[in-house]
């Protein structure tokens, strides 16, 4: 069973601040959902789960779509929450 | 007066070609209807201010003799698809002021055809939900009954087409987000084969399941829009290579499979079952062969889906952190900015799926959930593969009930998830399916639409169009 401290840990991993009320609600909601999805064990419990990379393949292409420097700068900068002289502004890291 | 109520793309195209009316007049007719009803419905998050200018460009194109089937056709676009220079918010607070810096591939194609974009439509935030109640900007009401939901997540697009606020519309479908609102609003909605339509420029939700698809009042309208947007795209490596697909006559007789066990699980409203049986009878009378088939692993679809989707959501949503774009809420330091921005910018369902996804992907649980879900997903896919050796089409209801009341399920996420029982397995298998109107349930004097879902094998959309037209008596 999940507890509030588990929700805390998951929220920290997911970089989301949650209010106490939100945590209680999540705890209440997630329990039944996990209970429901556990029914896959009826079929999957005895199956070999080791290899299982799905049947997908990587498709690559040459990096030949480079646009000239500055082409989209204005559009990018307009969407930035904070900017200065066409640079994205963030808080000091060190 | 243009009769927009009975208008189809083909009819509008002919009228525009003959000069019976202009694209401007057509756009004005839709804008007038929007003015009249959308304050109540709330299908649109934004009606563009340059609709008439776009229509003038279309008229110039028509005058110069370069008319295409979709030139001048008014279309609504779900708010998670990018149109350069316009806001695309995915109905989220975190992207409230986000302006798209490029066109989605589907938009680029439609622009070439000269369509008129009417506006961006309401949806569940980042396409997570089945009722548009998760929109940060309020619910879209059902055009038939304002106390009920329009469905979701593409509820705004469905309501817009059903209420004649656009002739056709684009939506996206990860687990039923086109078909379910189409059914609730009494129109046609197609979820194409995974890879049939490029997703470059649509905001990702469940990347192994998402597809863009069309809404229309008729099968032919949905078909026209699908043909306009489909095709291989070097910007989306999951797109399938172009193949010549033969149009199939609407008179062709098909072998149609009914997954009886799956339908007998319970939880389906009696009116839906009755309507479904009537639909089967109708198909039989039309000369199709109806057989029972077994899809034994389909009953695990929802369980698989609600592991895979949160897992993919938790990684796809990581980009919304308030750093490069979107809402930023300032904290004590850089990391704290993430926590505060995501707290303020994301809604309850998005947070729920992120937390759930983080859990199922976390060390120690990955094997128990995500890995096993992928194995069962393969079993489900194999069930369909086997069934399609014997039948051309599979049929189910689109939804277990008619459109529910606003607020009815919003506090019980599991109950809301169970709404997707018939639509989710199709996305897991990557095959195409279409929802078409199949009748009405009379509730308190209101005729609430029901829908049936035709399902075909990979890249067999033309089979779906043929059987659907035959069912609806469309030529």
Residue A44 reports pLDDT greater than 80: no
Residue A80 reports pLDDT greater than 80: yes
Residues of A in contact with B98 (CB under 8 A): 79
Other CB atoms within 10 A of residue B364 CB: 6
Assigned token pair, B186:
């009494």
Residues of B in contact with A29 (CB under 8 A): 352, 413-414
* Contact between residue B110 and residue B229 where contact means Cβ atoms under 8 Å apart: yes
Residue among B169, B171, B181, B219 nearest B420 (CA): B181
Q: Does A94 contact B at CB distance below 8 Å?
A: no
Residues of A in contact with B306 (CB under 8 A): 33, 36-37
- Of the candidates A14, A80, A90, the beta carbon closest to that of B355 is on A14
Mean pLDDT score of chain A, rounded to an integer? 87
Q: How far is A55 from chain B (nearest CA, A)?
A: 10
B84: CB partners within 8 A, 6+ apart: B100, B101, B102, B103, B107
Other CB atoms within 10 A of residue B276 CB: 22
Whether omega before B153 lies within 30 degrees of 0, making that bond cis, reads yes
Residue among B85, B95, B162, B99 nearest B127 (CA): B95
- Chain B residue with the nearest C-alpha to that of A44: B372
pLDDT digits (tens, 9 = 90+) for B363-374: 888 888 999 999
Separation of alpha carbons A10 and B311, rounded Å? 13
Separation of alpha carbons B403 and B237, rounded Å? 36
Residue A52 reports pLDDT greater than 60: no
Residues of B in contact with A44 (CB under 8 A): 372-373, 375-376
Residue among B406, B401, B326 nearest B155 (CA): B406
Q: Does B306 contact A at CB distance below 8 Å?
A: yes
User: How big is chain A by its Cα radius of gyration, in Å?
Assistant: 23
Separation of alpha carbons B254 and B238, rounded Å? 30
pLDDT at residue A50 in the model: 62
Region of B253 (left: φ > 0; alpha: ψ -120 to 50; beta: rest) is beta
pLDDT at residue B245 in the model: 79
Separation of alpha carbons B222 and B433, rounded Å? 12
- Of the candidates B373, B374, B414, the beta carbon closest to that of A33 is on B414
pLDDT at residue B197 in the model: 98
Residue B73 reports pLDDT greater than 90: yes
Q: Say whether B435 sits in a helix, a strand or coil.
A: strand
Q: Does A36 contact B at CB distance below 8 Å?
A: yes
Separation of alpha carbons B94 and B104, rounded Å? 20
pLDDT digits (tens, 9 = 90+) for B80-91: 999 999 999 999
pLDDT at residue A62 in the model: 81
Q: How confident is the model at residue B411 (pLDDT cuts 50, 70, 90)?
A: confident
pLDDT at residue A49 in the model: 62
- Of the candidates B325, B333, B375, the beta carbon closest to that of A49 is on B375
What's the CA angle centered on B181, arms B198 and B398, to 5 degrees? Answer: 95
Assigned token pair, B107:
């938009």
Q: How confident is the model at residue A55 (pLDDT cuts 50, 70, 90)?
A: low
A:B CB pairs within 8 Å: 136
> Which residues of B are known to be catalytic?
78, 153, 177
- Of the candidates A30, A36, A76, the beta carbon closest to that of B355 is on A30
The residue of A22, A31, A44, A71 whose CB has the most chain B CBs within 10 angstroms, and thus the best one to mutate to test that interface, is A44
Residue among B213, B278, B311, B359 nearest A7 (CA): B359
The distance in angstroms from the start CA to the end CA of chain B is: 26
If residue B46 lies in a helix (H) or strand (E), which one and from where to where? strand B44-47
pLDDT at residue A16 in the model: 97
* Contact between residue B148 and residue B141 where contact means Cβ atoms under 8 Å apart: yes
* Contact between residue B133 and residue B94 where contact means Cβ atoms under 8 Å apart: no
């Amino acid at each position: 069973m999940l507890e509030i401290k588990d929700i805390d840990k998951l929220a920290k991993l997911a970089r989301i601040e949650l209010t106490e009320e939100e945590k209680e609600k999540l705890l209440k909601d997630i329990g039944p959902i996990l209970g429901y999805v556990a029914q896959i064990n009826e079929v999957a419990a005895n199956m070999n789960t080791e290899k299982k990379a799905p049947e997908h393949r990587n498709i690559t292409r040459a990096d030949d779509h480079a646009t000239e420097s500055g082409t989209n700068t204005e559009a990018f900068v307009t969407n930035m929450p904070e900017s200065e002289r066409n640079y994205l502004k963030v808080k000091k890291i060190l | 007066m243009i009769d927009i109520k009975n208008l189809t793309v083909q009819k509008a195209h002919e009228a525009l070609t003959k000069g019976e009316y202009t694209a401007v007049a057509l756009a004005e007719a839709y804008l007038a209807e929007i003015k009249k009803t959308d304050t109540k419905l709330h299908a649109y998050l934004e009606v563009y201010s340059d609709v008439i200018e776009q229509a003038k460009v279309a008229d110039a194109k028509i005058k110069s003799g370069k008319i295409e089937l979709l030139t001048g056709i008014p279309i609504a676009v779900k708010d998670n698809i990018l149109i350069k220079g316009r806001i695309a918010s995915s109905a989220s607070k975190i992207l409230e002021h986000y302006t798209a810096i490029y066109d989605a591939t589907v938009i680029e194609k439609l622009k070439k055809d000269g369509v008129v974009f009417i506006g961006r439509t309401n949806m569940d935030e980042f396409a997570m939900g089945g009722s548009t109640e998760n929109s940060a900007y309020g619910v879209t009401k059902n055009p038939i009954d304002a106390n009920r939901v329009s469905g979701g997540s593409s509820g705004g697009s469905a309501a817009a087409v059903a209420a004649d606020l656009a002739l056709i519309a684009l939506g996206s479908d990860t687990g039923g987000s086109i078909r379910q609102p189409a059914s609730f609003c009494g129109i046609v909605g197609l979820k194409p084969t995974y890879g049939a339509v490029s997703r470059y420029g649509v905001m990702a939700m469940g990347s192994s399941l998402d597809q863009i698809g069309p809404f229309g009042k008729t099968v032919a309208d949905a078909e026209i829009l699908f043909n306009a947007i489909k095709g291989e795209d070097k910007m989306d490596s999951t797109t399938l290579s172009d193949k010549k697909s033969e149009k199939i006559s609407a008179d062709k007789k098909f072998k149609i499979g009914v997954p009886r066990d799956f339908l007998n699980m319970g939880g389906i409203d009696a009116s839906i079952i009755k309507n479904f049986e009537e639909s089967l009878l109708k198909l039989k009378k039309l000369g199709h062969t109806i057989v029972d088939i077994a899809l034994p692993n389909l009953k695990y679809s929802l369980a698989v889906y609600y592991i895979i989707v949160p897992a993919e959501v938790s990684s796809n949503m990581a980009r919304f952190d308030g750093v490069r774009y979107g809402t930023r809420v300032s904290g004590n330091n850089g990391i704290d900015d993430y926590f505060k921005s995501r707290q303020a910018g994301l809604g309850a369902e998005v947070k729920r799926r992120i937390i759930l996804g983080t859990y199922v992907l976390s060390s120690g649980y990955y094997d128990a959930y995500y890995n096993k879900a992928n194995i069962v997903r393969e079993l489900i896919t194999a069930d369909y593969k086997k069934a399609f050796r014997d039948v051309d089409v599979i049929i189910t209801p689109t939804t277990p009930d008619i459109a529910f009341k606003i607020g009815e399920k919003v506090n019980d996420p599991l109950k809301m998830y169970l709404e997707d029982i018939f639509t989710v397995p199709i996305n897991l298998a990557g095959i195409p399916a279409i929802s078409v109107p199949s009748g009405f349930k009379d509730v308190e004097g209101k005729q609430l639409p029901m829908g049936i879902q035709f399902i075909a094998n990979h890249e067999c959309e033309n089979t779906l169009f043929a059987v659907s037209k035959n069912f609806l008596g469309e030529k």
